[in-house]
A = this chain, B = another copy of it.
Amino acid sequence: MADKRTMEDTISDKAASPPAAGLEPINLRMPIAPQVYERIRRAIITLAILPSEALSEKELSLQLGVSRTPVREALIRLADEGLIDILPQRGSFVAPIRIRDVEEAQFIRESLEVAVVGRLAGQCSSQFLIDIKANLARQELAVTQEDGDLFLELDEAFHRSFCEEAGLSKSWRVIQTVKLQMDRVRYLSLPDAIHLRTLLAQHWQIVSAIEQKEPEAARAAMAAHLQEVLGTAHWLSVQRADLVER
């Protein structure tokens, strides 16, 4: 028992953890718990695991080829962040997409990120403007190539860079956490290329306002941009009522 990471480098094929239903395998040479968290989070966000689906410590640990402890820790953290509902002694379940939760997540994110760009419009480095325009150029490409996943990645970096430039790393963590509630909605609306064009245009407006050093304009542009997701959420709540809980 407890072989852990010894002799594991020898590529043993005995009990070579099953295909793992869409979960990529774990690297046993690095801290396991964060990897498990990341795998499950991605699976939920990309709807590889659907809302209300049951997750059990035991089953996940078998699929991932690790023990139940790191799985349990990952589930606790995901429950903290509202992606999972843990019912004591009953089971853990992927949280449904609650329209109410998406709205509040949006409120929190808007409050914070509007304040962040307000600061940035007052003072930011010229290098920051160069870097973020480079990012926007890549977003252009992603949109024309209709590469939704790439756009999502660049969008994440776009928003994160505001917090980084302002020296507000903890703020980004909060945003990132509440954003999880919207990410499933965003993922569902990805295929819509027209929608992506809209988002990109809004990104440009935000950057312009910052460059012109107009805090109020920047705040307004960011608020308008972030409120986009509310529209798609309501749209999905009728279009995909099977996934979204009113």
Contact = CB atoms under 8 A, between A and B. Distances in A.
Interface of A: 31, 73, 76-77, 80, 82, 88, 101, 104-105, 107-108, 110-112, 114-115, 168-171, 174, 178
A15 B103 CA distance: 51
A108 B113 CA distance: 10
Copies in the complex: 2
A112 B115 CA distance: 9
Nearest to A108: B171
Contact of A178 (B111, B169, B174): B174
A101 B170 contact: yes
Nearest to A118: B111
Nearest to A101: B170
A226 to B, nearest CB: 12
B104 A171 contact: yes
A197 B46 CA distance: 52
Nearest to A82: B170
Contacts of A111: 111-112, 114-115
A31 B88 contact: yes
A170 B115 contact: no
A15 B13 CA distance: 47
Contacts of A88: 31
A82 B171 CA distance: 13
Contacts of A80: 77, 80
